[in-house]
Amino acid sequence: MSALLTVDAVSKRFRGLVAVDRLNFEVPAGGIYAVIGPNGAGKTTLFNMIAGVFAPDSGAISFAGERIDGLPPDRICRRGIGRTFQIVRPFPALSVEDNVIVGALLHRRHVVDARAHAHEVLRRLDLYDKRAQRASSLTLPDRKRLEVARALATDPKLLLLDEVMAGLRPTETDRIVAILKELNRETGLTILLIEHVMRAVMALASRILVLHHGAAIAQGTPGAVVRDPAVIHSYLGAEDVS
Ligand SMILES: Nc1ncnc2c1ncn2[C@@H]1O[C@H](COP(=O)(O)OP(=O)(O)O)[C@@H](O)[C@H]1O
Ligand SMILES: [Mg+2]
């Protein structure tokens, strides 16, 4: 079996509210999968459980064949799951380069090695020329790509992206899409993204999971999911998905 990530009957409640409800899905190594659904559907909660922010109330999460649910975030990151945050949070007073070096130091003891790796990541994310700027001085599209760079610097096998295209113009969205496709193709990086920007989802994902009130209401290829009446009713509505 080649699933890199397996989510098996996972649930999470916050007081009375069921945020994630007996969810099952798998992401194969080398895949690009998307999670979509309305606000409050449980998408970020799912990522938080995969990344170790909270343990599920029930169910199991396995990564590369081993249980990871209940492990703390640093252990999960060390095993090879990198994530971005929906609210971008670089260290604002640090330079772009130092923000990425912080991630690179996870698997490197020496700053010279971490810097070399950070430069490689910054080149991929089109941020190399801005490496000396303070993170706080970057525009939103650059901050979004810095967030991806910080996560990539930790050498993930699986990258979790939480709405990295939100608020971007189509040209900036297309730029991130192209970068992610190239990373996936050239390095075999597996990507799971939460995204509302359907232009990006359709261009990237080979499979889509649709969440609504914490439950999967559909899973399948982009073409099948966007034609699913339950998905159109609960999420897509009249949105243009072309
Ligand atoms: N830490 C938390 N404490 C209490 N409730 C939470 C917490 N995180 C999320 N929720 C609730 O869980 C539900 C799912 O939220 P979330 O996973 O952020 O949805 P999404 O990312 O799909 O918009 C929402 O009703 C939200 O208010
Ligand atoms: Mg969210």
Residue appearing with tokens 């910054």: 122
pLDDT tens for 178-221 read 999 999 999 999 999 999 999 999 999 999 999 999 999 999 99
Q: What is the mean pLDDT of the chain?
A: 94
Looking at residue 242, its pLDDT comes to 46
Residue 238 pLDDT level (bands cut at 50, 70, 90): low
Q: Give residue 114 CA to ligand 2 midpoint distance, Å.
A: 31
- Strands 158-162 and 81-83, by their bridges, are parallel
**Which residues are CB-neighbours of 90 under 8 A, at least 6 positions away?**
99, 135, 143, 146, 147, 150
Rounded to whole angstroms, the Cα distance separating 173 from 181 reads: 12
Looking at residue 73, its pLDDT comes to 94
Which amino acid is residue 51, in one-letter code? A
Q: Give residue 19 CA to ligand 1 midpoint distance, Å.
A: 6
Atom number of ligand 1 nearest to Cα 54:
1
**Which residues are CB-neighbours of 167 under 8 A, at least 6 positions away?**
140
pTM of the model: 0.94
pLDDT at 240 over 70: no
Mean pLDDT of the region 133-150? 95
The protein residue with its alpha carbon nearest to ligand 1, atom 4, reads 14
pLDDT at 20 over 80: yes
Domain segments of the chain as ranges: 1-80+158-164+190-242
Looking at residue 234, its pLDDT comes to 85
Rounded to whole angstroms, the Cα distance separating 165 from 200 reads: 8
Is the Cβ–Cβ distance between 152 and 103 less than 8 Å?
yes
Mean pLDDT of the region 107-113? 95
The protein residue with its alpha carbon nearest to ligand 1, atom 11, reads 19
Atom number of ligand 1 nearest to Cα 20:
14
Query: How far are the Cα atoms of 29, 95, 161, 180 from residue 125, in angstroms, in the given order?
Result: 22, 15, 14, 9
Atom number of ligand 1 nearest to Cα 46:
17
Q: Residue 221 corresponds to which tokens in the numbers above?
A: 């290829």
pLDDT at 241 over 60: no
Q: Residue 192 corresponds to which tokens in the numbers above?
A: 């799971």
Rounded to whole angstroms, the Cα distance separating 100 from 54 reads: 25
CATH T-level topology, domain 1-80+158-164+190-242: Rossmann fold (3.40.50)
Residue 1 pLDDT level (bands cut at 50, 70, 90): low
Looking at residue 194, its pLDDT comes to 97
Q: Which of 14, 49, 53 to mutate to test the pocket of ligand 1 (most atoms within 8 A of CB)?
A: 14
**Which residues are CB-neighbours of 208 under 8 A, at least 6 positions away?**
33, 34, 35, 36, 201, 218, 219, 220, 221, 222, 225
pLDDT tens for 42-69 read 999 999 999 999 999 999 999 999 999 9
pLDDT at 89 over 90: no
Ligand 1, residues at Cβ distance < 6 Å = 14, 17, 19, 37, 39-45
The protein residue with its alpha carbon nearest to ligand 1, atom 27, reads 40
Looking at residue 90, its pLDDT comes to 79
